[in-house]
Structures are given as structure tokens and as C-alpha cells.
Amino acid sequence: MSSFPTELKYTHDHEWLRPQGTSWRVGITQFAVDQLGDITLVDLPKEGDLVTKGQRFGTVESVKSVSDLYAPVSGRVLAVNPSLKDSPELVNSDPYTQGWMIDVEPAEKAEIDELLAADAYTAHVAAQ
């Protein structure tokens, strides 16, 4: 099993969050990438869009399936990774840095506290 970066927060739906000043960078975990297989397309919201915690904010298409992405927090999208439009495979090769998806400014900081630490996420994945 993969080890998961300890500085990140995680969701039960396999998204991660990394603090970026006042915003949070969002992507999917190596576990999700392994389950999806080779990613061929990433469909993301536009800068300025609002996302709602637990609601779909985009999709990832792979050779196996199309999977929804779920917002880990509610807030405004401040940035979208432009590299994923032409190079969605960055999610496969580097999901925690180059394969990031969006930056979100959270509407409710308390939602961050509800997310999983790396050890809790590791236990969640092990139970699947």
C-alpha cells in the first residue's frame, strides 16, 4: 500500500488538500489513481466557480471508467491546473504535485477540521 503525505488532509472519496496560503490545493490520491488506471481526460470547473462540500465538481476519465470528483470543502475556485487540459496523465505520474486539480478558497474553515489526517486515511484505504 502507498504511504500518503502527512502534510495533507484527505476525504473518504480519495481527494487530498494541501494548504496554499489562504487557499487549499485539491487533487486525488495515489490510491484513487491506482484504482482508475491511465487517466485520459480531466473535466474541472472554471476559476471563480463555487463548489459545495460533498458535491461533484468535476470528472476524471480513465481507460477503465469515468469517475466523479467531490469537493472536500465549500468555496470559490481560485485556480485550475492548466496543464491537465493537454496532459491529463500528470495525475497518474505525479498526483501530489504536478497533477493537482484546483485551488479553493474555503467558505467555512471548520470544514477543513472535518477532513482526515494521513493515518486516518491510511486506515480508511486499508479497510476497503
Task: Pick 112 or 2 by higher pLDDT.
Answer: 112
For the cut 60, the answer to whether the pLDDT of residue 15 exceeds it is yes
Give yes or no for residue 107 having a pLDDT over 80: yes
pLDDT at 1 over 80: no
**Where are the domains positioned within the chain?**
9-121
- State pLDDT tens for residues 65-93: 999 999 999 999 999 999 999 999 999 99
Q: What's the predicted TM-score (pTM) here?
A: 0.94
Give the three-state DSSP class for 97: coil
At residue 2, does pLDDT exceed 90?
no
- Which CATH number is 9-121 given? 2.40.50.100
Residue 117: DSSP 8-state:
P
Gap between the Cα atoms of 26 and 102, Å rounded: 5
